[in-house]
């Protein structure tokens, strides 16, 4: 599903050029659950952003489902993103002014799904993450775990083929963290591909495969059996 | 420490160059327009304040039985009031056309000079002009006396002593210079350069002659109402009681408004009891300038907050390092003071550039640094700066210094929806002002178009207006001048009139005419035989003038439609009018002409009586010669006329203009208003747009996170534009809804100034 070859990414200021990712090649198959690990600043979040088409790559190739997307324009990326990719963040990134229901509904609004269909799908996914009873609450009225469940619901409501999770349990206690990991695992079992950046060895164990990074390079790949 | 603050401020400004530039420029524009209006207001309010003695001087006007008000009063009124009112120290009557240029000659030297008035001997007892040379006590005592300003003395006599010398006026009569006066320091409603005794004083002295302005000076400082009731009673007893047949008290309780009233001279320019004043326009402009300044300050405030989101971290770190909230507050206030000072500096620079244009436009001489009222102005500017700084800085400084340390250090800069209503309200106000101006621009534009296309009832096409400066040219030599002009190839007709269409200050003589035993006040216009043909004015009934004796000697009259209506006449011929006060021989109304517009579209067409010959009753001077040219080489015809004129009025340059252009000048004040409205309109729009930019920047700054999330979830640029735009669109729509009735109302008030207007 994802085939990145010889990826280079630089950050430039007036005087200095920093290499963020150096000659990175990864391959994620459809239905796989991959964890990316490494110390702060090793480039794992940058990699995730490139995979999610939120950031450009400077050199190399990126095939998404066999299509070269490295040189895609913003409108094409946006289109590809909204139909294929769901995001889960460490800090949940829910919109404070919208209710749980409206937050989850948002991706469907942008993919122009009719209102009745939207309602059905949002309710279905809220049931799935067991947060239906808080559908009319605002994010600040929920606990961290509940907020992350809403974020997961929002990520999957569009039935994306790929979910990108950036430290999904980073802001949660272990119970809530486990619940979220459980959810991701269930999603993976239904066929969704997941790429997750994490610091937690515990969370990484839920993945099929772990990619370890250091100083912008992939140093090791381990597969869990 | 202070040096550090200033260094830090400039560093911050430099870092945020874009924001800072918009911020400071926006405020500068608001400040500039405000300062212009402030200067203008100061100037207007200084009218007729040049001597404390003016506080005792009042102008007398009359309201007649029809409730018509006239600034002109009868010749003997001043004497009546002077002799009978115990409160009055002195009274004078003047006949003025201060904008009209008259020729003055001393031996071979000839100049044409505006600012001349004729007055009776008591003028200088009423007006406190300072006599700097000659007779300071009774300068106008001699019947041939003349007082001139120092400027004219230098023009005519150079370094010589002018006292006792004679000056020839209109090339017709001589006056002796008895004194030299100082031109007042401040602006005045009567811009006088010289005062002379009229040679027609005795001939024109009767109650039927309404051609004078009357001024009185009280013995002590008393209120206008007191003066008014005293002189009104005297006027009633002397002039009206016989006809009304009741006591003064009974007459006043009857509700009639007929009688005298006064205006204090320092109120005449700004707050006259009737007639136009600039004050309404200036007040509106002042309110709008304040709104613009206010809007500029608010934008400044919003932009400061928007850019300050970037500085939240600085606040957090400083607080951790032990800065108190108060200290941070003063630091931010200090930064804003510096920016406001820069804005003021730019505003003063802009003002310096703009003032010459403004002065030319308004024909005034505003100066930023004027010894007269500089301290007052400096105080006003400082007060304005303080208010602007507080308006601009208070909110951002509080907002910034209040940032929650732990939150901002974690990167959370949002602080809820506080102040949203205030900010939205301010944006609405800005757009109300902008929309108001846009409505103003449209309405003024439409009315001016309407005016330019209006059928004025005469044709000024290819009609030349020639200013005859010598009295003989218009009177005794007229026939000869006319024949000389007609001998030029292409000249079709030649006529003269005392009331030239389009002249801003034309003869406003009105006289009492008697018809069927009733008195009617009608305008009196002296013309020559071919006047109506020259202007292509349509005859409705009867005939036009001929060379007959009666026509040529004020024994026949032609009246306009409005006069016919006032006299109740359906047809010309066989009906007579007379001057009851000075001439018993009746004039036959031989023709009625279609109404035509000579005064512009502000005023209804006045009833007018046209006669030939300056024989009866009152001598009317002024006016011009009109020459109708044929199609063809106009340039050649004009050159021929110019050459001829060198023989007709040797020593005077010819003053000619086309009548159409002359009439067009009547629109000049409206065209000026159009430009002012457009200027303020574009300023208002610019400020409103900056305001919108500021608010957008502020909201985007606050909603960056939300915008990113939405983008990740698939929102494209249109979605985001709509998301951010819909709130503003709502605000703008609301502003337009508020502005429409306001603009409608203001337009209606403005259009009331026009007798002929768009609906």
Distance from CA of B712 to the nearest CA of A (A): 7
Q: Which residues of chain B make contact with A95, given a CB cutoff of 8 A?
A: 706, 709-710
At A50, the pLDDT band (50, 70, 90 cuts) reads very high
Q: Which residues of chain B make contact with A107, given a CB cutoff of 8 A?
A: 713-714
Q: Which residues of chain B make contact with A82, given a CB cutoff of 8 A?
A: 713-714
Minimum CA–CA partner of B703 in chain A: A95
Position B412 scores a pLDDT of 57
Position B99 scores a pLDDT of 57
Whether chain B has a CB inside 8 Å of the CB on A110: the answer is yes
Tokens at residue B439, please? 């409505």
Whether chain B has a CB inside 8 Å of the CB on A80: the answer is no
Tens-place pLDDT, residues A200-216? 999 999 999 999 999 99
CB–CB of B188/B179 below 8 Å?
Answer: no
Residue from the list A82, A93, A95 with its beta carbon closest to the beta carbon of B714: A82
Average pLDDT of chain B is: 84
Domain range for residue A116? 2-223
Residue from the list A54, A79, A106 with its beta carbon closest to the beta carbon of B710: A106
Position of tokens 């000026």? B672
Q: Which residues of chain B make contact with A79, given a CB cutoff of 8 A?
A: 714
Whether chain B has a CB inside 8 Å of the CB on A159: the answer is no
Q: Do residue B715 and residue A96 have CB atoms under 8 angstroms apart?
A: no
Highest mean pLDDT among A14-18, B68-72, B557-561, B667-671: B557-561
DSSP secondary structure letter of residue B239: I
Whether chain B has a CB inside 8 Å of the CB on A112: the answer is no
CA distance B293 to B311: 27
Tens-place pLDDT, residues A120-174? 999 999 998 889 999 999 998 999 889 988 998 999 898 899 999 999 988 888 8
Distance from CA of B724 to the nearest CA of A (A): 14
Q: Chain A 183-222, CB below 8 Å of chain B: which residues?
A: none
Residue B414 has pLDDT above 60, yes or no: no
Strand A2-12 to strand A17-28: parallel, antiparallel, or no bridges (unpaired)?
A: antiparallel
Bin B515: left if φ > 0, else alpha if -120 < ψ < 50, else beta: beta
Q: Do residue B713 and residue A75 have CB atoms under 8 angstroms apart?
A: no
Position A34 scores a pLDDT of 95
10 Å CB burial of residue A151 (0-12, 13-18, 19+) is buried
Residues 6+ apart with CB under 8 A from A109: A118
Residue B665 has pLDDT above 90, yes or no: no
Query: What are the phi and psi torsion angles at B721 (to 5°)?
Result: -60, -45
Distance from CA of B716 to the nearest CA of A (A): 7
CA distance B64 to B661: 35
At A36, the pLDDT band (50, 70, 90 cuts) reads very high
Whether chain B has a CB inside 8 Å of the CB on A15: the answer is no
Average pLDDT of chain A is: 90
CATH number at residue A26: 3.40.50.300
Q: Do residue A93 and residue B705 have CB atoms under 8 angstroms apart?
A: yes
10 Å CB burial of residue B116 (0-12, 13-18, 19+) is buried
Range B650-660 burial, b when 16+ CB lie within 10 A, else e: eebebebbbbb
Q: Which residues of chain B make contact with A81, given a CB cutoff of 8 A?
A: 712, 714
B387 Cα distance to chain centroid: 31
Minimum CA–CA partner of A82 in chain B: B714
Minimum CA–CA partner of A92 in chain B: B709
DSSP for chain A, written as a single string: -EEEEEEEEEEE-SS-EEEEEEEEEEEE-TT-EEEEE-STTSSHHHHHHHHTTSS--SEEEEEETTEE-TT--HHHHHHHHHHHEEEEETT----TTS-HHHHHHHHHHHTT--HHHHHHHHHHHHHHTT-GGGTTS-GGGS-HHHHHHHHHHHHHTT--SEEEEESTTTTS-HHHHHHHHHHHHHHHHTT-EEEEE-S-HHHHTTSSEEEEEETTEEEEEEE--
At B503, the pLDDT band (50, 70, 90 cuts) reads confident
Q: Do residue A81 and residue B709 have CB atoms under 8 angstroms apart?
A: no
Q: Give start and end residues of each alpha helix (H) in B219-324.
A: 224-235, 241-244, 248-253, 265-268, 279-308, 312-320
CA distance B118 to B135: 18
Tens-place pLDDT, residues B455-469? 888 888 889 998 887
Q: How many residues does chain A have?
A: 225
Q: Do residue A154 and residue B713 have CB atoms under 8 angstroms apart?
A: yes
Tokens at residue B300, please? 């400044």
- Least-confidence region, from A196-205, B477-486, B509-518, B623-632: B509-518
Strand positions, DSSP E, B401-483: 463-466
Position B328 scores a pLDDT of 81
Highest mean pLDDT among B242-251, B268-277, B647-656, B665-674: B242-251
Nearest to B155 by CA among B98, B101, B113, B184: B113
- Least-confidence region, from B148-152, B172-176, B314-318, B326-330: B314-318
CB–CB of B520/B567 below 8 Å?
Answer: yes
DSSP secondary structure letter of residue B571: S
Q: At what angle do helices B634-648 and B478-486 cross, to 10 degrees?
A: 150
At B65, the pLDDT band (50, 70, 90 cuts) reads confident
Distance from CA of A222 to the nearest CA of B (A): 30
CA distance A160 to A88: 12
Residue B518 has pLDDT above 90, yes or no: no
Report the pLDDT averaged over residues B127-139. 92
Q: Which residues of chain A make contact with B710, given a CB cutoff of 8 A?
A: 95, 106, 110
Report the pLDDT averaged over residues A67-82. 87
Q: Which residues of chain B make contact with A75, given a CB cutoff of 8 A?
A: 716
Q: What is the dihedral of CA B597, B603, B604, B609, to 10 degrees?
A: -60
User: What total of structural domains would you count in chain A?
Assistant: 1
Tokens at residue B455, please? 């059928």
Q: Do residue A96 and residue B414 have CB atoms under 8 angstroms apart?
A: yes
CA distance A53 to A87: 11
Tens-place pLDDT, residues B160-192? 999 999 998 877 789 999 999 998 888 888 888
Distance from CA of A225 to the nearest CA of B (A): 33
CA distance B126 to B406: 77
Distance from CA of B677 to the nearest CA of A (A): 42
The ranges assigned to domains in chain B are 2-44+279-448+669-751, 54-268, 468-654
* Most B CBs within 10 Å, among A48, A53, A109, A140, to test the B interface: A109
What percent of chain B shows pLDDT beyond 70? 92
Residue B728 has pLDDT above 60, yes or no: yes
Q: Which residues of chain A make contact with B712, given a CB cutoff of 8 A?
A: 52, 54, 81, 87, 93
Residue B98 has pLDDT above 60, yes or no: no
Position B413 scores a pLDDT of 54
Position A27 scores a pLDDT of 93
CA distance B154 to B95: 25
Residue B421 has pLDDT above 80, yes or no: no
The structure's pTM equals 0.68
Whether chain B has a CB inside 8 Å of the CB on A145: the answer is no
Position B615 scores a pLDDT of 65
**Could you tell me the end-to-end alpha-carbon distance of chain A, in angstroms, rounded to an integer?**
21
Residue from the list A75, A87, A96 with its beta carbon closest to the beta carbon of B716: A75
Position B565 scores a pLDDT of 92
Instruction: Name the helix (H) or strand (E) containing B591.
Output: strand B583-593
Report the pLDDT averaged over residues B381-387. 87
Q: Do residue A78 and residue B719 have CB atoms under 8 angstroms apart?
A: no
Query: What are the phi and psi torsion angles at B134 (to 5°)?
Result: 90, -155
Tens-place pLDDT, residues B604-640? 888 999 988 766 566 676 678 999 998 888 888 888 9
CA distances from A159 to A130, A190, B318, B385 (A): 17, 11, 47, 60
Q: Which residues of chain B make contact with A106, given a CB cutoff of 8 A?
A: 710, 713
Task: Give the number of beta-carbon pairs within 8 Å between A and B.
Answer: 38
ipTM of the complex: 0.85
Q: Do residue A95 and residue B414 have CB atoms under 8 angstroms apart?
A: no
Q: Which residues of chain A make contact with B719, given a CB cutoff of 8 A?
A: 110
Tens-place pLDDT, residues B136-147? 988 999 999 999
- Least-confidence region, from A100-109, B149-158, B579-588: B579-588
Position B292 scores a pLDDT of 79
Residue from the list B708, B709, B714 with its beta carbon closest to the beta carbon of A78: B714
State the Cα angle at B347 between B344 and B350, rounded to 5°: 155
CA distance B606 to B186: 35
Bin B470: left if φ > 0, else alpha if -120 < ψ < 50, else beta: beta
3-state SS, residue B488: coil
Q: Do residue B713 and residue A107 have CB atoms under 8 angstroms apart?
A: yes
């Amino acid at each position: 599903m994802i085939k990145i070859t010889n990826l280079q990414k630089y950050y430039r200021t007036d005087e200095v050029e920093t290499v963020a990712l150096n000659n990175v090649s990864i391959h994620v198959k459809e239905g796989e659950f991959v964890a990316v690990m490494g110390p702060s600043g090793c480039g794992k979040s940058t990699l995730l952003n490139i995979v999610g088409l939120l950031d450009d790559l400077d050199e190399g190739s990126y095939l998404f489902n066999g299509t070269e997307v490295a040189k895609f324009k913003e409108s094409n990326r946006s289109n590809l993103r909204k139909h294929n990719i769901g995001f889960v963040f460490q800090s949940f990134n829910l919109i404070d002014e919208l209710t749980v229901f409206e937050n989850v509904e948002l991706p469907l609004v942008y993919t122009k799904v009719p209102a009745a269909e939207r309602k059905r799908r949002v309710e279905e996914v809220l049931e799935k993450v067991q947060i239906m009873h808080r559908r009319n609450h605002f994010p600040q009225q929920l606990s961290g775990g509940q907020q992350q469940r809403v974020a997961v619901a929002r990520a999957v409501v569009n039935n994306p083929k790929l979910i990108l999770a950036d430290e999904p349990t980073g802001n949660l206690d272990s119970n809530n963290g486990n619940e979220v990991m459980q959810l991701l695992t269930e999603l993976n079992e239904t066929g969704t591909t997941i790429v997750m950046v994490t610091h937690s060895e515990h969370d990484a164990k839920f993945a099929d495969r772990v990619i370890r990074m250091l100083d912008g390079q992939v140093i090791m790949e381990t597969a869990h059996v | 420490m202070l040096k550090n603050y200033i260094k830090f401020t400039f560093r911050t400004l430099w870092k945020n160059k874009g924001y800072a530039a918009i911020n400071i420029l926006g405020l500068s524009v608001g400040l500039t327009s405000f300062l212009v209006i402030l200067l203008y207001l100061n100037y207007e309010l200084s009218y007729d304040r040049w001597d404390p003695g003016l506080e005792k001087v009042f102008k007398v006007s009359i309201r007649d039985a029809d409730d018509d008000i006239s600034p002109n009063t009868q010749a003997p009124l001043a004497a009546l009031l002077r002799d009978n009112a115990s409160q009055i120290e002195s009274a004078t009557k003047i006949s003025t056309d201060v904008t009209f240029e008259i020729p003055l000659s001393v031996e071979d030297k000839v100049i044409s000079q505006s600012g001349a008035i004729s007055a009776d001997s008591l003028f200088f007892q009423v007006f406190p002009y300072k006599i700097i040379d000659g007779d300071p006590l009774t300068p106008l005592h001699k019947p041939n006396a003349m007082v001139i300003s120092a400027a004219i003395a230098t023009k005519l006599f150079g370094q010589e002593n002018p006292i006792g010398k004679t000056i020839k006026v209109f090339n017709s009569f001589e006056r002796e210079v008895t004194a030299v006066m100082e031109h007042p320091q401040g602006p005045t409603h009567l811009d006088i350069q010289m005062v002379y005794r009229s040679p027609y004083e005795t001939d024109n002295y009767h109650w039927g002659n309404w051609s004078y302005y009357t001024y009185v000076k009280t013995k002590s400082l008393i209120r206008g109402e007191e003066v008014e009731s005293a002189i009104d009673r005297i006027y009633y007893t002397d002039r009206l009681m016989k006809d009304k047949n009741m006591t003064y008290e009974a007459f006043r309780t009857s509700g009639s408004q007929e009688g005298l009233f006064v205006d204090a001279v320092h109120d005449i320019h700004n707050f006259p009891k009737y007639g136009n004043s600039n004050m309404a326009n200036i007040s509106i402009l002042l309110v709008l300038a304040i709104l613009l300044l206010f809007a500029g300050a608010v934008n400044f405030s919003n932009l400061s907050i928007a850019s300050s989101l970037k500085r939240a971290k600085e606040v957090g770190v400083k607080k951790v390092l032990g800065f108190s909230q108060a200290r941070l507050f003063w630091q931010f206030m200090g930064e804003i003071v510096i920016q406001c000072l820069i804005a003021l500096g730019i505003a003063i620079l802009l003002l310096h550039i703009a003032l010459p244009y403004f002065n030319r436009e308004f024909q005034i001489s505003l100066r930023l640094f004027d010894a007269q009222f500089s301290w007052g102005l400096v105080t006003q500017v400082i007060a304005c700066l303080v208010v602007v700084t507080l308006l601009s800085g208070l909110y951002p400084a509080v907002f910034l210094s209040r940032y929650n340390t732990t939150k901002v250090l974690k990167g959370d800069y949002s602080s809820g929806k506080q102040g949203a209503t205030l900010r939205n309200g301010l944006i609405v106000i800005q757009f109300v002002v902008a929309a108001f101006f846009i409505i103003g621009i449209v309405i003024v534009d439409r009315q001016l178009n309407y005016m330019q296309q209006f059928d004025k009832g005469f044709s000024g096409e290819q009609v030349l207006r020639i200013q005859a400066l010598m009295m003989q040219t218009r009177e005794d030599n007229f026939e000869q001048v006319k024949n000389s002009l007609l001998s030029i190839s292409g000249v079709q007709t030649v006529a003269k009139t005392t009331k030239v269409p389009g002249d801003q200050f034309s003869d406003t003589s009105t006289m009492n005419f008697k018809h069927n035993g009733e008195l009617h006040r009608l305008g009196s216009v002296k013309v020559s035989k071919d006047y109506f043909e020259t202007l292509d004015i349509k005859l409705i009934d009867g005939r036009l003038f001929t060379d007959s004796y009666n026509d040529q000697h004020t024994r026949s009259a032609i009246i306009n439609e409005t006069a016919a209506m006032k006299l109740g006449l359906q047809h010309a011929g066989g009906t007579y009018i007379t001057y009851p006060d000075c001439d018993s021989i009746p004039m036959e109304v031989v023709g009625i002409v279609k109404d035509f517009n000579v005064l512009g579209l502000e005023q209804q067409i006045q009833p007018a009586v046209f006669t030939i010959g300056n024989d009866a009753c009152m001598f009317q001077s002024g006016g011009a010669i009109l020459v109708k040219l044929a199609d063809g080489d106009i340039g050649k015809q004009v050159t021929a006329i110019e050459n001829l004129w060198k023989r007709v009025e040797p020593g005077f340059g010819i003053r000619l203009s086309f009548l159409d252009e002359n009439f067009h000048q009547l629109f000049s004040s409206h065209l000026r208003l159009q430009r002012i409205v457009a200027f303020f309109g574009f300023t208002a729009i610019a400020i409103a747009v900056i305001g919108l930019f500021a608010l957008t920047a502020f909201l985007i700054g606050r909603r960056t996170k939300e915008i990113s999330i939405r983008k990740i979830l698939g929102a494209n640029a249109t979605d985001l534009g709509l998301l951010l735009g819909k709130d503003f669109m709502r605000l703008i729509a609301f502003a337009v809804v508020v502005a429409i009735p306001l603009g409608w109302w203001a337009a209606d008030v403005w259009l009331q100034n026009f007798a002929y207007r768009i609906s």
